[in-house]
Amino acid sequence: MQNILEIKDLNVGFTISSQLYQVVYDINLSLKKGEVLGIVGESGCGKSVTSMSIINLLPPNGKIISGEILYNGKNLLSCDKKEIQSIRGNKIALIPQDPLTSLNPLYTIGNQIIEVIQLHQKKNKKEAEEIAVEMLEKVQIPDAASRLKDYPHQFSGGMRQRVLIAMALCCNPDILIADEPTTALDVTVQAQIMKLIKDILKKENKSMILITHDLGVIAELADQVAVLYSGKVAEQAQVKDLFNNPMHPYTKGLLNSIPTTKTEKLEPIEGQPPDIFDDIQGCNFNPRCKFVMDKCKTIDPPIKDINGHAVKCHLY
C-alpha cells in the first residue's frame, strides 16, 4: 500500500536566547492509508514537535532545520502559507489534547464548528449548520441539532472531546493528528473515546498519527509504533512486534513500568530524560541504560532494520 505521508530526515530546533537548540533528529516515519501510526515517549521527547511540524504549527521560535514531509508526494515544508492553510484542517486535521482550552468558552459549539466549516469550504450558514449536525451525530452526541446552541461549559469533558473530534472530521480530512486525545479524560470516558475513534477510522478508512505517552492507548489504536527518546527514534515496529518483542532498553523500561495483572513489582526507568540544553555524547539513552557499554558513551548507534523491526542500539 502506498504511503499517504512520509517524514524524511526531519531535524527541528528551537531558538532560545539567540541560540538554536536541536530537539528532533533525523526522524524518518511513514503512514499508509487507513493506518494508525503511534508516536510514544515521555514528555519532551519530541513527539508533539514532530507532529506539529507536519502542519506547520510550531511555536514562533521553532525552526525546521532540514528534512521533507511528503503528503501524497507533495513536500509540505516547501508549501507557502496559503497552501499549508488549505491543507491544514482540510486534508490533515488536528484533534487537540485539552478540550477545555481548545474550545472558546464565549461562543456556542455550533458557532465554532460552523466557523471551521466555512473557513475551509464554500458553504452558506445553513449548509454549514447541516454539516455540523451531521458531524455531532457521527460522534454520537445525542440531540445534536439543539446542542449546537450550547456553550462548551454545558458539555462534559468526554462530550467536549467528541466535539473536537467532530470539528476535526468536518472537512473530511485524509489524516487526523491526535495529540494525547484521551489524557484529560476519566478512565471510563477514555475507553469510550478510544472506541469512537477506532470505529470512525475503520468506517471511513482514515489514517491517523497518534501522539501519546500511554502505551495502553497505543495497544488499543495503533498499527505501527515509533518510540521516541530525546528527539530520536529509538525503536519502530508493528504494534504486536513491539509489545511481544521489545528490543531497545528504553522500550523495555517503558513496558516494565506499566502495571499488568502479572506484574509483581513495577520497575521504573531510573533517572530523568535529558533536557534541551544537555549535550550527551554517544547514545542519548546511555546515562539511564542498564546495559550501557563503553562505546555507548562515544558512538551514537545507527538505526538498524531487523526484519521490519527497527532499533537504534549497539546491542543489535
CA quadruple 136, 138, 142, 144: dihedral sign: positive
Q: Confirm if 109 and 155 have CB atoms less than 8 A apart.
A: yes
Pick between residue 182 and residue 286 the one whose CB is nearest to ligand SF4: 286
Pick between residue 141 and residue 283 the one whose CB is nearest to ligand SF4: 283
- What is the phi/psi pair of residue 297, to 5°? -85, -10
Pick between residue 190 and residue 236 the one whose CB is nearest to ligand SF4: 236
The residue from 249, 251, 269, 273 that contacts ligand SF4 (CB under 6 A) is 249
CA distance readout (Å), 70 to 78, 148, 299 = 10, 36, 31
Sequence-distant (≥ 6) Cβ neighbours of residue 86 within 8 angstroms: 120
Pick between residue 112 and residue 251 the one whose CB is nearest to ligand SF4: 251
Strands 304-306 vs 309-311: parallel, antiparallel or unpaired: antiparallel
Report residue 127 as a C-alpha cell: 449548509
Is 314 among the residues that bind ligand SF4 (CB under 6 A)?
yes
Q: Least distance from C-beta 288 to ligand SF4, angstroms?
A: 8
Sequence-distant (≥ 6) Cβ neighbours of residue 129 within 8 angstroms: 110, 114, 148
252-311 binders of ligand SF4 (CB under 6 A): 283, 285-286, 289, 291-293, 296, 301
Q: Least distance from C-beta 291 to ligand SF4, angstroms?
A: 4
Give the contact letters, 6-45, x = binds to ligand SF4 (CB under 6 A), - = no. ----------------------------------------
Is 197 among the residues that bind ligand SF4 (CB under 6 A)?
no
Report residue 22 as a C-alpha cell: 536541536
Q: Which spans of this chain sit near ligand SF4 (rule: CB under 6 A)?
A: 249, 283, 285-286, 289, 291-293, 296, 301, 313-315
